[in-house]
Structure formats: C-alpha cells, structure tokens
Amino acid sequence: MAIHVDIQSGVGVLTLDRPERAHAYDQEHITALEKGFDELASSVPVVVIRSTGDRAFCGGADLDAVSGADPLSALDLPSQRLFNRIARSAAISIAAIQGPAVAGGAELTLACDLRVMGPQAQLRLPEVSHGLIPSAGGCTRLTRLAGPAIAKQIILFGETLSADALIRCGLGVPGEPTPFDAAMHIAQRFLKTADPLAARLAKQIIDRGEDPTSLEAERISESLLYHRRAASRP
C-alpha cells in the first residue's frame, strides 16, 4: 500500500492507496500510516483521511498477513495503537468515506472525530462471525458513539449500516458532491472559525464522557480560556 501524505490549503491529507486489496493493511502499512499521521498532526490542526478509488474505504487487516499470527500478538495490537493515537491526537481527524469500511477499516473511521459519508459508504464489523471481536477500539468506540443497541446490532448480529442509516444514527454527515470534497470544506471551515486551543480542550473533555472529572475539566479549561482572552486585550 502506498500511503500519501499531503497538505492542501492548510489541511493535512492522509491517503490510503491499495485499491486492488480494498486498502487492507498489514504491519508495514500500519507503520506507514502512523508515520504519515504523526507527520501531519505535528504540522496542521486538522487531518482528512481518505482512500483512492470507489471500491472501498478500507477492508481492515489483510487476512493473508494475519492468518498465522501469534495469539499473544493480540495483546499489543498495532492497529489499536494507531487508532488510539488518532483518537487522542490534538489534531482534529475527519474520515472521508466513499465506500465500505469493514472490520479494522470501520474501526479506523470510529477513531476519527468526524465521518463524512458518500452514498456508497457502509460500516460493517463482521469479526464475531469469524470467532473474533472488533479489538482495535470497535466495541468500545461504537458503543460510546452510537449506544449499546446499535453496537449490538452491528457487532453481534452482523448488520451492515448504509450511509443513510449511519447518518440517521449520528455516526456521520452527508458528503456532497464527494466525501473528500465535503471533508475538505468542513476542514477549511474549521481552520477559519475554530480556535485551535479551545477545540483541543473541548475534544479532550468530550472524549472523557460525562463524569465528575470531565465537568471539572470543563471549568478549568474555560478558566484558562477566559484568562487567555483577558491577557490578549489591549
């Protein structure tokens, strides 16, 4: 897989380019994705993740590469490490999804802060039918984002959610005229209107969920931002 790294009008663009294998990844590709994301996240405040072609967004782990994997390797999954890195990054991440996002590909989109859906976008987590579970953050993040009922629908019963269904349940927004064009428009609007520090603090608190420490973090963060505003006044 070729991983392309680019900055367009101040927006980082990370492109998966292995259309002949539905952009499936192995260890080498995960390493390249991690390096590319880190490079962009250290340079720009927002990163769009996309893939080439129309066939798929990402098919997840390359089955040929993982068929003989050591069972203990699941205790230190490179894909979970990468997706955690994306989810916890100070950079805002947007997935431009033009086709099916399956297994690890779906988990990659769930690690992003926003999912922009084309008409052919789908989300599918079929691991249970193969005697596995979504282990790169899928069980945890899908439940947090969509609730346990929808998570069980997709993970336990293998339901594939279409773009329309994903948008209806709040997992994505429409991407017109193309998901990438829409994602870039959203990213550039973010650059023009959002304060990077305020956005970073808000993202960290949102990802904690509603608990006493999150509410305290809201107060502390707002105090910091008030102080900064006061200090900037002439």
pLDDT tens readout for residues 151-203:
999 999 999 999 999 999 999 999 999 999 999 999 999 999 999 999 999 99
Window from 35-44, 70-79, 139-148 with minimum mean pLDDT? 70-79
Supply the pLDDT for residue 232.
Answer: 83
Range in 81-90, 162-171, 203-212 the model is least confident about:
203-212
**Region 90-94 average pLDDT:** 97
DSSP the chain: -EEEEEEETTEEEEEEE-GGGTT-B-HHHHHHHHHHHHHHHTT-SEEEEEESSSS-SB--B-HHHHTT--GGGGGG-HHHHHHHHHHH-SSEEEEEE-SEEETHHHHHHHHSSEEEE-TT-EEE--GGGGT---TTTHHHHHHHHH-HHHHHHHHTS-PPEEHHHHHHTTS-EE--S-HHHHHHHHHHHHHHH--HHHHHHHHHHHHH-SSHHHHHHHHHHHHHHHHHHHHH--
Rounded CA-CA distance 65/233 in Å is: 57
Whole-model pTM: value is: 0.90
Which of 32-36, 67-71, 177-181 bottoms out in mean pLDDT, i.e. has the lowest? Answer: 67-71
Torsion, Cα 162 173 157 140, to 10 degrees, reads: 150
Bridge partners, residue 15, by sequence: 4, 50
What average pLDDT does the chain have?
90
